[in-house]
Amino acid sequence: MSEMTGSDLSARSAESAASPRLMGAAFDWLARAQQEPRQAQQAWAEQGIALLPLGTRFNTVCLPARLVHSAVGTDDLGSVTATLAELLNGPVIHNHPQHQYYALVDCAPTLRWTREYGEAPMLGVGHFLTVPASDLRGPTGLYWAVLPRIVGDLCPVPSVAALVHIARSDARGRQR
């Protein structure tokens, strides 16, 4: 398997942007997290964001920017985005003002995850996530660092765990 370069990832992002049908289907799938999906679609159209409940279609892992930047080895947003696309292989939201990334993941048990990865809690049932519209792509405010590509596109939980482990290893290395 060949490694993806930054230009390959940009091309992949451009492919997603150039495929409105796939993008529309992916966002229709996200909207169905709500009992009334039209409300989410209307909120995206009118406000650029929609508040979606977690725990039915997907959960999210809250990744502090310092943890992500440590794992990636930089705080350069272009490099971070390209690396997240490659490492997590799924959609990631960046809340720039709050210095937080949100990896969308399967509905996995949150308690077990949070006990092991307390610095990057998983949120599920009973929580909501502010999800930006597909055209919000940064670099300020709330935006998609990595867009969903297809229906059901989520970051594999083991990939998110590996990112946290990389950040922990880096932090331990710096403490020595």
Question: How many other C-beta atoms lie within 10 A of the C-beta of residue 126?
Answer: 9
Closest C-alpha to 86, from 75, 66, 71: 71
The share of the chain scoring above pLDDT 90, in percent, equals 73
| 112 or 96, which is more confident | 96
- Confidence check: pLDDT of 155 > 90: yes
Is the link from the previous residue into 139 a cis peptide, with omega within 30 of 0?
Answer: yes
pTM reported for the whole predicted model: 0.85
- E-strand spans in 37-105? 49-53, 59-64, 92-95, 100-105
* Weakest mean pLDDT among 11-25, 77-91, 101-115, 138-152: 11-25
In this prediction, residues 66-70 reach a mean pLDDT of: 96
pLDDT tens by residue, 74-86 = 999 999 999 999 9
The pLDDT of residue 174 is 58
- Confidence check: pLDDT of 12 > 50: no
